[in-house]
Structure 1
Amino acid sequence: MQRIHARAAEEGGKMNTVLFAVGAYLIGSISFAVVVSKLFRLDDPRSYGSKNPGATNVLRTGNKKAAILTLLGDGAKGFVAVWLAQHFGPAYGIGETGVALAAIAVFLGHLWPVFFRFVGGKGVATALGILLAVNGWLGLATLATWLIIAYAFRYSSLAALIAAVFAPFFYLLMFEVDAMLLAITAMSVLLIARHRKNIANLLSGKETRIGSKKKS
């Protein structure tokens, strides 16, 4: 009888893990760049600049409030999805692996949002929100890396690439090899892959600096 109950609990935990992951993906699929741009009656961020629905591209309109709201929204969804899994998951049989799955799921939702024909952003702000939820110091260390590089070189993409490389190392310094480390490493790889065009532009000297407005 105990084995039956244990097996039922295990199966229930697996199902709940899937449900939390799906919920995290749907949260990630909310593209704040598009939503905020519509609220401010701005052009669709997928139609100008880098065509990336993210805060940096929205900033090219010159509307700083819209860019800040986009940044906060994209970061918040990453934080909320992981926080929900951390605080409510254990009651439903969701362990550390389930939290890691929620983290990667919300990130994938941002990259390929179901609500916007799977055309999403590059994941920088969402990744930061995830890292802050996992551990405040981890998120702050990664953010500090981004700020230092962005301030020194004025390239958001370069700052994001370097921060993405350092994030797994920061985690490893603080913790051990586990499911969350794998999730963060996967996010870093995906984030770098999403910056392929930026890498080419950086190498050719064509990358747009932070604060540059969109061309009319």
Structure 2
Amino acid sequence: MKSPSRGSATQATPLVEDTVLQSLSQELAYLHNRVCVLPNDSPIQIQLPKEMFHYNDHAMAWLFKEDVKEFLSGAMLNISLIQISMRALQEKIWELESPCQVGWLCPEQMSTARILGNSADVLYYAERGIRKSVSAGGKFIFIPYYEDYHWTLLVICVSSNTIFYIDSARLPQVRKRLVRFILQNTMKKINPRSPRGPTWKL
């Protein structure tokens, strides 16, 4: 993680109101205190490993002060913050030497915008990422997914060929879930003995 250089001292300015600040967990308070001293236009640069996210090359996520402010105030959860959290979780799993092996698909690569723009590329990425995760020992594959201004989480259980769709918001109408088309076709190719594709748990 690279922080911007501090040519001159930057005065810490709280990102959220005091009532919100007092309600934050220890981890979120640490995030707030670390970011609030940064200049507004100088982001933190975090590398996204190509092995973890199944990129052709290493990529970068840029965390701006405004991103953290929007997250802590409940206004928006930026995709960069999701990617950084995924990397942090994977590093924690490595530290614990957990027997529960997980794989990850990048939320940016699996986004609605990408699916609408070029579904063939998303299909290719999903198949490659799932196959690499499985060959690396991944038993569960996590896919944060953004659609209709809302984050959901998809979890692929490889052994049972099941996909869990986890949504914190219950709506009167079902979301479009464009990602379902991608994963349905991908899992059919990966598990040809299941011609109907994976079982979905919504």
- TM-score between both structures, scaled by the size of structure 1: 0.29
Q: Which has more strand, going by share of residues?
A: 2
More helix per residue: 1
Task: Report the TM-score, using the length of structure 2 for normalisation.
Answer: 0.30
